[in-house]
Amino acid sequence: MQRVLVMGSSGSGKSTFAMRLSEITGIPFVSLDALFWKPGWVESDRAEFRERVTEAARQPRWIMDGNFTSHLVQLRRDASDTVIWFDLPRRTCMSGIVKRVARSYGRVRPEMGEGCPERIDFKFLRYVWTFREKQRPKLLAYFEGLRPDQTFITFTDRMQADHYLRELAMIPNRASMH
């Protein structure tokens, strides 16, 4: 495990998982949100974002958090050796968003771009609410393109993800992942 994609709905816990996985393995964490969003929630120019993602994907080791299914998905999938998918129910993701907004409102979360404080965004809430109907089919099609030599892991609840991290943290030679 050297190049890991962590994907799934916002609010599923994927960013928290990816950052914890980075801490355990020593593999650098890359947030697609941080690469995409400019201060004040301004979207990056498509070419600029493409350049940032390409540069990140060329690195020898990374844990890349985020979907961005309309941006360089082939490059990221082909470069990865492991894909971890958070396929959680809508209620779990919506609850995660509500808790996150309550906890972080007005502050910039570690995985976000500078100058992008947590806020209430109804367009974003609609995106999370409709994720299973609109985005999940795109991800399923994306995963069909994985090669046999790539590891694919699916979590359907957060307890599975927590268990995975606990087990990984107990591996004595995980320092060899560095």
The pLDDT confidence band at residue 52, using thresholds 50, 70 and 90, is very high
Is the pTM here over 0.85, yes or no? yes
Q: Which helix (H) or strand (E) holds 154?
A: strand 151-155
Phi, psi at 33, each rounded to 5°: -60, -45
Q: Rounded to an integer, what distance in angstroms lies between the CA atom of residue 141 and that of residue 67?
A: 13
The pLDDT assigned to 71 comes to: 63
What tokens were used for 151? 């590891």
Is 10 a residue whose pLDDT tops 80? yes
The pLDDT confidence band at residue 4, using thresholds 50, 70 and 90, is very high
**Mind giving me the DSSP string for 31-95?**
EHHHHHEETTTEEPPHHHHHHHHHHHHTSSSEEEE---TTSSHHHHHHH-SEEEEE---HHHHHH
The pLDDT assigned to 172 comes to: 72
pLDDT in tens, 93-131: 999 999 998 998 988 888 887 888 999 899 999 999 999
Residue 21's contacts (CB-CB under 8 Å, 6 or more residues apart) are: 4, 6, 27, 63, 165, 168
pLDDT in tens, 65-97: 998 876 667 889 999 999 999 999 999 999 999
Region of residue 15 (phi > 0: left; psi between -120 and 50: alpha; otherwise: beta):
alpha
DSSP secondary structure code for residue 13 in this structure: S
DSSP secondary structure code for residue 104 in this structure: H
Mean pLDDT of the chain: 91
The pLDDT confidence band at residue 175, using thresholds 50, 70 and 90, is very low
- What are the chain's domains? 3-171 (3.40.50.300)
Q: What three-state secondary structure class fits 18?
A: helix
Q: Which helix (H) or strand (E) holds 130?
A: none
The pLDDT assigned to 133 comes to: 96
Residue 163's contacts (CB-CB under 8 Å, 6 or more residues apart) are: none
The pLDDT confidence band at residue 31, using thresholds 50, 70 and 90, is very high
Residue with tokens 């790539």: 150
The pLDDT assigned to 110 comes to: 83
Q: What is the percent of the chain with per-residue pLDDT over 70, rounded to a whole number?
A: 95
